[in-house]
Amino acid sequence: MLSQSASNLGLSKVYGAFINNEFQPVRGAVFPAVAAATGMHLAEIARCGPQEVEAAVLAAERAFPAWSALPPEERASYLHKLADAIERNATRFTTIDTLDIGRGLWETGIDHAIAVSQYRYFAAAIITHEGFGRPIPDGYLVAKREPYGVCGQIIPWNVPAIMASFKIAPAVAAGNTVVLKPDENASLSTLELCKLIAEIFPPGVINVVPGMGEEAGAALTAHPRVAKLAFTGSSDVGRIVSAAGAHRLVPVSLELGGKSPNIIFPDIETADIDAIVDNVTFASMYCNGQSCLAGTRLFIHDAIYDDFMAKLIASMRRIRVADPASEGPLLGCVVSARQGQRVQAYIDIGREQASLATGGARVNVAGCDAGWFFEPTVFETANDSRLAQEEIFGPVLSVIRWNDYERMIHDANNVRYGLAAGIYTTNLKHAMATADRLQAGNIWINSYFNLASGSPFGGFKESGIGSEYCHETLNMYTHLKAVTIQTQVKPAWYSPLS
């Protein structure tokens, strides 16, 4: 049982806002951090609001001049030190996240490895984040990159370690300072990260204000001294953040929802089907299905449909639904009762409007009575169904049969989102032509979730604005300033003396 080791994790009993490298005394309301699977009380967390946000923004504003003045090499050294510290604490952080959000240890371990790679990637990338220049008549044009200042950032609960790194690493690498709000369902590992930050970074560079979106989040997005906003979460909340940025005319980057197509062509070799089935299973069930980029719409060609479906159902039934503390690949619980009820509602809709191929039941796991565990669930449906159109954020896969290429392309693109897509084929022409026509920011051919540091991650349509995970991200956190230099003042011509 994971709860047996919780007392050994060194969690604080109470966490206040992290401002100026110190946890602030908690004088107002708090909310509990509760283990998703067991319901065990883990800590009390300050329910921050405008007062804490104000203090955090002012601290970040004070820290900005000195931090932004550091050479990129020095800022990079801080990020490398943080990456090293996370790596040393990886086992502990992995356990904290599994406890907090209900995902298996095998997954949260991957999360922290990705987070470490992000800090190291942007430590390297900032060294080569250059402007440009060119000669002009009797002079030279210099275009240089400058940080915005205080960045307000809001992250979700599904992969807190990755999300924190996606926001913090490029922002501070570029010379900005940060006020970050973690999700109220997954604040613990971010607040524990603050203890490492306090040992490494100058005060005020990175500040964290936990709390509710309508309180701390709203105060952060509306603050007049926040110069840049970044948000990851639902498209509906993304609209609210975007509107707040538009009201103050500050730049906003958004990474939002998805309903990604995963397309199986009939030319796949028989020997490859088992591996492809495994990858398709992973694409839809990883993160307990709580992933914006999950391959939740599977398009299988009619010529191989029956064989593929039989193997897919067998693959889903082999997945262990278990205590998240168990070793190896497994399906844990969704993050909260509220999310569990949402997933259950969609399964009920599927039972009425689609054909259930496998799964669909809630599972009882010994010692995890508070957790909302579900069987891996697969429905055969049409692309215009609610199951195929709406983001469920749970272990539910919609399968759609296809035999007409043009119709399949239309259906694959016929959703409000455009974050990711997968393609499985041995035909290079099919792969590249289809990738060109899919309306998504990330196309993975023959291996879903094929993310590598430096690969742009961002969406089309309602999946967001801007790209993370890559060198281009540094441009989202900097102004471009032009400076022109003339070697001499030109002769008078506007109001000459004679």
How far apart are alpha carbons 387 and 365 in whole angstroms?
26
How far apart are alpha carbons 398 and 262 in whole angstroms?
10
Residue 483 CB contacts under 8 Å (≥ 6 apart), including other chains = 141, 142, 143, 144
Nearest residue to 213 via CA among 291, 254, 156: 156
Residue 89: CA count within 13 A, CB half-sphere? 21
Question: Which residue among the candidates 184, 255, 462, 468 is catalytic per the annotation?
Answer: 255
Containing 341, the helix (H) or strand (E) segment is helix 337-353
Place of tokens 């936990």: 210
Nearest residue to 162 via CA among 92, 230, 110: 110
Question: Which residue among the candidates 292, 333, 368, 470 is catalytic per the annotation?
Answer: 292
Pairing of strands 396-402, 377-380: parallel
How far apart are alpha carbons 168 and 267 in whole angstroms?
43
Contact 282, 448 (CB under 8 A): yes
Tokens of 75: 């800022």
Q: Is 333 a catalytic residue?
A: no
Taking the CA atoms of 446, 450, 454 and 456 in sequence, report the sign of the dihedral they define.
positive
How far apart are alpha carbons 92 and 275 in whole angstroms?
33
Instruction: Identify the burial level of 249 via C-beta atoms within 10 angstroms of its C-beta, where 0-12 means exposed, 13-18 middle and 19 or more buried.
Output: exposed
Q: Residue 161 carries which DSSP code?
A: H
Residue 169 CB contacts under 8 Å (≥ 6 apart), including other chains = 79, 118, 119, 121, 122, 123
Q: Is 151 a catalytic residue?
A: no
Can you give the length of the chain in residues? 498
Tokens of 337: 């009762």
Give the catalytic positions in this structure. Answer: 255, 292
